[in-house]
Amino acid sequence: MSAPHLPKVAGIDPAVPAPAHTVAPHLPSATPQPESGSPAAAAQDLSPVDQLAAVQDRLAGWISDLTTLHELTEQMARTASLDDALHELLRAGAALVGAQRGMIVLEPADGRGPDTTVGLGLGRADLGTIETIPRSSASYGRILDGLPEEEGDSTARLEIAHPDLRNEPALDPRHREVAARLGYAASYAVPLATDEAGRLGAAVWLYDEPTEPVDRQRHLVGLYTRFATEHLARHLELSRARTVADTLREELLPSRLPRMAGVRLAVRHRTGPQGGGDWYDALPLPEGALGLAVGGVTGSGPSAVAAMGRLRASLRAYAVMEGEDPVAVLSDLELLLRLTEPARSATALFAYCEPALRRLVLSGAGHCPPLIIGEQRTEFVETSLSAPLGMLSCWEAPSVEFETVSGETLLLYSDGLLHRTGEPMDQAFALLHAAAASVPKSVRDDPDAIADHMLSTVLPDGRDTADSPEDVVLLVVRFD
């Protein structure tokens, strides 16, 4: 009688050790008979019915374990971020080894980061206390710093178990002290490593009582962490790519807003996961003037970010030369876009502002109209309808001149703020107007508070920070 072959589930090798609660059945063969009193001899005494029941029990144990691993790997595959993946790995591993608490120390061996620590059932203060253990004594420290190979096993597969921390004489006293303070009596640690990425970190699970995982639990958590760490490595690379893109995008935007008499500024900038081309600018101009701009290029990703940087830098140059004439600024920008980015279009709005006079002259190219908030009015600035840059053979639109009074605020924003509401554009504009009209009087002299109120009202429940293909730019200009 040949042994049954179980189907593979989610890429997991079904050839796992037999469940501890079963006894391997004896099948007739020509092999020498086992010694009397051995488990195999005991199995030999079973009747055929009992042998079949033992085989069924063993198969049921395998199927149960494979089903559990399949469910856990599916849950890991659904994680959307590096932080989610770390917490899911920690939770699932704790369930497999029967632990109550644990921690993951992410410290990639290539030194590129990010370095972070997450806990399960441990607060920030608890994690800080564990970090006071000398690294050479802490399980995660020994794994991350690289232990010597033992019995032919590489450090990538090495595990560290402390079944009774209170009674290990060779353990560092500080380690025992921390364990007693936090109330754990045993620990089990495994490396998180892949062949391609190398060592990424270490996972440590903690037990309230002296114990250690049995062989079957170790095998199952080894199978799970092998898959989970591969998934973790993909999240890590994606997180690094996003960090680089975010850094590049932020470097292409103003590092700080200018401070000028008579006006105060605040800005909120949100980007999607791929990075978009929405931008803003506020630059001092000759004779105490201020140039204000918002805009966006079509597309997303690195190419859109690069195009945004080129467009913003060019607009700065044109603003210095022709700032008093916003139409000329955008006309020059449109010509440059057609010559250098013929397959791309962009929206833009540029305003020449004289803070001392509270006077503005602005022109827009397919961009949303600004919004004025004041004691006596909350209204959109009436701008001429115009096409985006790069859409026509020659762009031109008249400028608009208007004045504000002391205490009024001007809002410049991107259309992503409207699109993220999920409403039709007319309703989104109405929602934006209602949010502006509802700004509490107590915060109307604080541009940062106004910006926060607008985002939380127009995009409630964290929709301003949620992943979205739409960027959000909100530039708040408060006139004193």
Domain ranges of the chain: 80-242, 253-479
- Of 388, 353, 342, 391, nearest to 367 by C-alpha is 388
- Kindly indicate whether the domain formed by 253-479 is annotated with CATH number 3.60.40.10: yes
Burial of 93 (0-12, 13-18, 19+ CB in 10 A): buried
CA-nearest of 282, 229, 274 to 249 is 274
Tokens representing residue 279 in the block:
């931008």
Token digits for 225? 């962490």
Provide CATH code, domain 80-242. Answer: 3.30.450.40
Q: How far apart are CA 135 and CA 235, in angstroms?
A: 27
477, 263 Cβ separation under 8 angstroms:
yes
Could you identify the residue written with the tokens 């961009």?
A: 367
Quickly list DSSP for 363-423. EEESPPPPEEE-SS-EEE------PPBTSSSS-----EEEE--TT-EEEEE-HHHHHTTTS
Tell me what pLDDT residue 384 has: 76
Q: Do 80-242 and 253-479 come out as alike in CATH topology?
A: no
Sign of CA dihedral 247, 128, 234, 92: negative
Give per-10-residue mean pLDDT for the chain (480 aa): 39 42 37 48 63 74 83 92 94 94 94 93 95 93 72 56 92 94 96 90 96 93 93 90 76 86 94 78 95 90 84 93 92 90 90 95 93 95 85 80 95 93 94 96 94 95 80 95
